Amino acid sequence: MTIEMLWEQDDPDAVLRDRFGFASAEAVGDWVTSVVERQWGLRVESPERVVMSDRNALVWVRRGDERLLLKWSVAPDRFERLTFAAELTAWLGTLGLPVSAPVPTLAGEVQVTSAGISMGLQRVIDGGHLDVDDADQVRAAGATLARLHDALRECPLRSSRPEVLSVPAPLTEQIAGWVTSDPSTLSPEARDVLGQLLERAPADLPPVQIVQGDYRAANILCAGTAVVGVLDFEELRLDHRIGELARSAVMLGTLFRDWEPVSESVRQQFLDGYQSVRALTEEELHWWPVLVLWYSLALVPPGDDPDGWGRAATEVLEHMAR
């Protein structure tokens, strides 16, 4: 069994011991096989791989020819959100959408909390992460996001856990607040262009709704030109559809340790795919360039910029200023 970190540089054996309370790979392996049999009634083989990030962990196991993924968290402040995300994903699965639906426990739960651990079991989806150099995959990702948004707009679960879904400030306030914070990476020219775009942006937008929250290559699995899996709804939130669409377009190519921006042509392919399912309103079309520029500027890191976000933001700025 391999034990590794998803993106952090910490020693995985120390993390396994100090954050998760397992003294060895053998100890975590024994716990996994035991808890899967106890909660789900499934006998699985010893784990193949454990991956950790923050206070969350994933472990891959086999049951005959079937591969399963156990996800667990030792962050109590996230437990309500994780349960809601599992319930939401299960509901989306009943609609036939390409999500990694949780496997119910023997008690019929899709997320279970026991001994200070929140956990869920999923079936592994065969597919590779979205390739932003493949235009067909990018358009398919846009179309899939539109279908998810259509479904999430009608989600009957929205009122079931209000503590998870806080109403965001209006977009104008969010952007103005960011500008007022005087980011060191925000140039006077960018401030002026963003301000001009913001002044012209319409006040009316379709109402906020539940959105996926982290729709990018790391969480999109494809097979051929089709999206076969949308993963990790744990960052779900209330937002305008155009807000998630623009944020995802800017961050679409990001993976776990690969954090590079995409080109304008990729963003356009993504938008085209989205609009092939659901056309944007006139108000949303006016907000698109504002939000693409804002997210591009906000992602520029202070200091070293090995992935080129500053250069990418400059290209967006020049395109918007034409």
2-124 and 129-321 share one fold: no
- Nearest to 233, CA basis, from 291, 148, 320, 153: 148
pLDDT at 158: 77
**What are 166's two structure tokens?**
């806080």
pTM for the full model?
A: 0.95
Structure tokens at 222: 């494809």
Domain segments of the chain as ranges: 2-124, 129-321
pLDDT of residue 64: 93
Top-level CATH class of 129-321?
alpha beta
The CATH class, in words, for 2-124 is alpha beta
**CA torsion, points 15, 17, 20, 21, in degrees to nearest 10?**
-170
pLDDT at 6: 85
Whether 148 and 91 have beta carbons less than 8 Å apart is answered as no
Q: What is the pLDDT of residues 164-217, one digit of tens each?
A: 899 999 999 999 999 999 999 999 999 999 999 999 999 889 999 999 999 999
The pLDDT value given to residue 15: 93
The per-residue pLDDT for 55 is: 95
- Counting as low any pLDDT under 50, the low residues of the chain are none
Could you give the C-alpha distances from 92 to 25, 49, 95, 154, 158, in angstroms and in order? 35, 28, 5, 11, 13
8 A C-beta contact, residue 12 and residue 4: yes
